[in-house]
Amino acid sequence: MIIDYHLHSKYSVDGRMSIEEACKNAIMEGIGEIAFTDHIDLDWPDPDLTFNISDIDQYINEIDEMRRKYRGQLIIKTGIEVGMQPQVLDETSDIVNNYPFDFVIASVHIVKGMDPYRREYYKGKTKEESYRLYYEETLELINEFSDFDVLGHLGYVRRYSPLPYEQGEDLLCFDLIEEILKTLIENGKGIEVNTSGYKHSSNCPMPSFKIIERYRELGGTIITIGSDAHSVEDIGFGFEAGLEIIKKSGFDSITSFNSRMQRSIPI
């Protein structure tokens, strides 16, 4: 069964599909299970943007309604993508623990108050420095925060870097990447394979093959796949290649979640 565990609806400021549009399109694409993972990213540095679900109860109710409506056609999970920053971890934990989520992705979208989506982040840094700062921040944050199931799109800086992608760049700072993987495994956390990376000139998921393979070699067992779709045409995007890489890395199943409890789905 194909499952897409990273979807943004209009409950995210950058989402362009309704919950129901996403469900209908997933069914048309032959996807068996999806998780909505709208943003809860507190204290966003740009005051004009709010990456936060304005009414979480309404979000959960709407997903519940679609679950009932499409029962037998599509399994629908209630997830969130929380953004980690040092100053928001306690408040984020409260949100995660106060609502009945099935699945939680934790991602780093803001590094030391800077947004790697913007060019300023890369100013005055070598390519390696732009990655190192992001990986160091990620490592620190996952040592402090544990209210999540998988780490989102590891290697995110690549997505918006203005510097042209070079072969092997995905493995820069591999020492830090290994530390991140070991910490995740020790804490019983997984990684997601984010196939939006196939839209980028690197033409590989985040994280890339060697990193997924290393996670497996180190003993990691929890892995999800997600398109990070913000509009209907991207649901399930890049899954054929993504699943191939997951298998090549030594996995014969991926992970689904129900009320934060994991289950293996053979691939």
What amino acid occupies position 23? C
By CB under 5 A, the residues from 131 to 170 that bind Zn ion are none
**Minimum distance of Zn ion from residue 71's CB (angstroms):** 26
- The b/e string for 117-155 (b: 16+ C-beta within 10 A; e otherwise) is eeeebbeeeebeebbbbbbbbbbebbeebebbbbbbbbb
Closest CB 65 distance from Zn ion, rounded Å:
23
Q: Minimal distance in Å, beta carbon 14 to Zn ion? A: 9
Give dist(CA 145, CA 154) in Å, integer.
16
Q: Which is nearer to Zn ion, 232 or 253 (CB)?
A: 232
CB nearer to Zn ion: give 107 or 130: 107
Give the residues across from 66 on adjacent strands. none
Pick one of 52, 107, 202, 224: the residue that binds Zn ion (CB under 5 A). Answer: 107
Nearest CA to 96 out of 138, 53, 67, 135 is that of: 53
- Residue 16 or residue 248: which is nearer to Zn ion going by CB? 16
10 burial level (CB within 10 Å; 0-12, 13-18, 19+): middle
Nearer to Zn ion, 35 or 173 (CB): 35
Minimum CB distance to Zn ion smaller for 169 or for 228: 228
Instruction: With CA atoms as reference, report the closest residue to 261 among 149, 106, 185.
Output: 149
From 63, 228, 237, 251, residue interacting with Zn ion (rule: CB under 5 A): 228
- Subset of residues 67 to 86 that bind Zn ion, contact rule: CB under 5 A: 81
Chain contacts with Zn ion (rule: CB under 5 A): 81, 107, 228
